[in-house]
């Protein structure tokens, strides 16, 4: 009896030691990914490399090789993921159609005259682009090229204008057809269509809060954000004929998904057709532009697929080590109120956002946090929007702040990058406020999701 008990205790200690070793390997893997990504290696390659080595270390070379062959094939063969190249191509066609200039011109007619009006115009332009391109960098770049000279002509401070445009550009991260929402849906294994719908109302809420912040800034510093040109009612009404295409595409995406008329992949194909028709109607088609649009969409698709493949391999590695379960158990069982746990997760996102890009931040954190979110009873779609809003924060946070650097690069060398970061600070506070309003009022996220015919 005593010998049997001793053998049992010894076996238990061996299992516990093995469990601790696996969890340590998991933590080391996460740390290695963070270090390699922060010093400039491509996130997709890093995730795949570390995940592959980790799987080989935990389960042997053959297991690692199986993951390295089966996961890339399964990812590229996914019908659902076809939505990514379709949405990217749709965005390229929207930009090709000249919609950016039309959006800006129409918005200027309606909002330009009020204090801070041209800043609001840039926000409206970015919101419209967000609903048709899904790319924060593209939205920021195009709006900066068109809006910044106009804002400067009417007396706007150049750095402040660049900061306002950069902040508005982040809306493309949240408003469908956001690539980040699709990326989250893949990792969380939830409906892409529901995830896209979940971002619609929070995106509009975020844009509305940005608008209030612009009005407040215009009141506080009217010399840096003066009123713009005045337009007649006839000019305002005429301007609407130039934006019908963008509105039609945006309504088709949200309406098609909400009504269950089309699947998420089908709505991507439908959007491409509408955007290409818009190019033809606006007489912007050339074979050279078509080749550039297809090439840009193909290149971006390749980069995103590398990240998705790497994320799946890395997620498999973390699951095998048991690290995700350990972190989930800690978050669930720690004796703290739910709001404190939520704040802790937000702080992790904010910290990582200072050092790694947005895709890396999601790829590192989601395999760790998602089991805990499920255990806490929080809705998985709701948490996806929280995570994506924190991606918005990451794109504005120094020193990376990719959309800030995009706006600054177009603004020119005479604008200091830190002055642009200073200009976006009020909008960072708005983002944090947005996160907590979504925490206390989750129906902002779930209203469309729960009523959609999906």
Let me know whether 92 and 210 are in one domain: yes
Residue where a domain terminates, one of 38, 60, 76: 76
Let me know whether 41 and 84 are in one domain: no
Let me know whether 214 and 331 are in one domain: yes
**Side-chain-side CA neighbours of residue 164 (13 Å):** 32
pLDDT for 303-330, tens place per residue? Answer: 888 888 888 888 888 888 887 778 888 8
Mean pLDDT of the chain: 85
Torsion of CA 88, 89, 90, 93, to 10 degrees: 130
d(CA 451, CA 448): 5
Residue where a domain terminates, one of 49, 76, 103: 76
- What domain range is 136 assigned to? 80-451
Let me know whether 42 and 177 are in one domain: no
pLDDT for 133-146, tens place per residue? Answer: 667 777 788 788 88
The CA–CA distances, whole Å, from 356 to 221, 305, 360, 398 equal 34, 18, 6, 11
d(CA 26, CA 317): 8
Helix (H, G, I), strand (E, B) or coil at 361: helix
Let me know whether 175 and 41 are in one domain: no
Let me know whether 384 and 404 are in one domain: yes
Let me know whether 14 and 143 are in one domain: no
pLDDT for 341-384, tens place per residue? Answer: 999 999 988 888 877 777 878 888 888 899 899 888 999 999 99
User: What percent of the chain lies above the pLDDT cut of 90?
Assistant: 20
Let me know whether 202 and 224 are in one domain: yes
Let me know whether 434 and 312 are in one domain: yes
Let me know whether 131 and 16 are in one domain: no
Domain total in the chain = 2
Residue where a domain terminates, one of 45, 76, 107: 76
Counted residue by residue, the chain has a size of 454
The CA–CA distances, whole Å, from 73 to 211, 238, 309, 312, 446 equal 45, 51, 9, 12, 33
Let me know whether 69 and 142 are in one domain: no
d(CA 320, CA 225): 54
Any idea what DSSP says for residue 286? Answer: -
Let me know whether 61 and 100 are in one domain: no
Residue that wins the pLDDT comparison between 220 and 224: 220
Phi, psi of 279 (to 5 degrees): -60, -45
What angle (nearest 5°) sits at the alpha carbon of residue 426, between those of residues 170 and 226?
95
């Amino acid at each position: 009896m005593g010998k049997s008990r001793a053998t049992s205790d010894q076996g238990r200690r061996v299992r516990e030691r093995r469990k601790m070793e696996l969890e340590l390997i998991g933590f080391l893997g996460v740390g290695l990914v963070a270090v390699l990504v922060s010093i400039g290696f491509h996130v997709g390659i890093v995730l795949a490399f570390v995940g592959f080595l980790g799987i080989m270390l935990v389960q042997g070379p053959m297991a690692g090789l199986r993951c390295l062959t089966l996961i890339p094939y399964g990812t590229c063969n996914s019908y659902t993921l076809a939505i990514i190249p379709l949405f990217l191509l749709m965005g390229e066609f929207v930009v090709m159609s000249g919609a950016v200039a039309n959006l800006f011109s129409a918005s200027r007619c309606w909002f330009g005259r009020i204090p801070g009006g041209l800043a609001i115009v840039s926000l409206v332009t970015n919101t419209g682009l967000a609903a048709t391109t899904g790319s924060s960098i593209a939205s920021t770049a195009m709006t900066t090229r068109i809006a910044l000279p106009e804002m400067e002509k009417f007396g706007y401070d150049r750095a402040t204008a660049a900061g306002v445009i950069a902040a508005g550009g982040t809306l493309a991260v949240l408003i469908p057809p956001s690539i980040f929402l699709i990326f989250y849906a893949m990792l969380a294994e939830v409906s892409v269509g529901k995830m896209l719908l979940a971002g619609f109302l929070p995106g509009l809420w975020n844009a509305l809060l940005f608008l209030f912040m612009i009005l407040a800034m215009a009141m506080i510093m009217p010399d840096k954000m003066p009123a713009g040109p005045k337009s007649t009612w006839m000019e305002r009404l005429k301007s609407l004929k130039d934006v019908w295409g963008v509105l039609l595409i945006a309504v088709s995406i949200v309406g098609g998904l909400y009504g269950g008329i089309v699947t998420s992949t089908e709505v991507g194909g439908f959007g491409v057709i509408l955007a290409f028709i818009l190019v033809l109607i606006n007489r912007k088609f050339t074979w050279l532009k078509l080749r550039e649009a297809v090439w840009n969409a193909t290149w971006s698709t390749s980069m995103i697929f590398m990240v998705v493949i790497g994320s799946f391999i890395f997620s498999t590695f973390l699951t095998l080590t048991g690290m995700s379960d350990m972190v989930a158990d800690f978050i669930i069982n720690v004796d703290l109120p739910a709001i404190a746990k939520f704040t802790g997760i937000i702080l992790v996102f904010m910290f990582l956002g200072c050092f790694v890009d947005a895709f890396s931040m999601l790829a590192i954190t989601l395999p760790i946090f998602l089991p805990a979110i499920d255990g806490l009873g929080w809705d998985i779609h709701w948490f996806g929007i929280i995570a994506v809003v924190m991606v918005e924060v990451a794109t504005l946070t120094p020193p990376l702040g990719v959309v800030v650097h995009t706006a600054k690069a177009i603004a020119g060398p005479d604008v200091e990058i830190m002055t642009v970061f200073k200009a976006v600070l009020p909008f960072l506070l708005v983002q944090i406020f947005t996160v907590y309003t979504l925490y206390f009022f989750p129906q902002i996220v779930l209203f469309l999701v729960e009523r959609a015919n999906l």
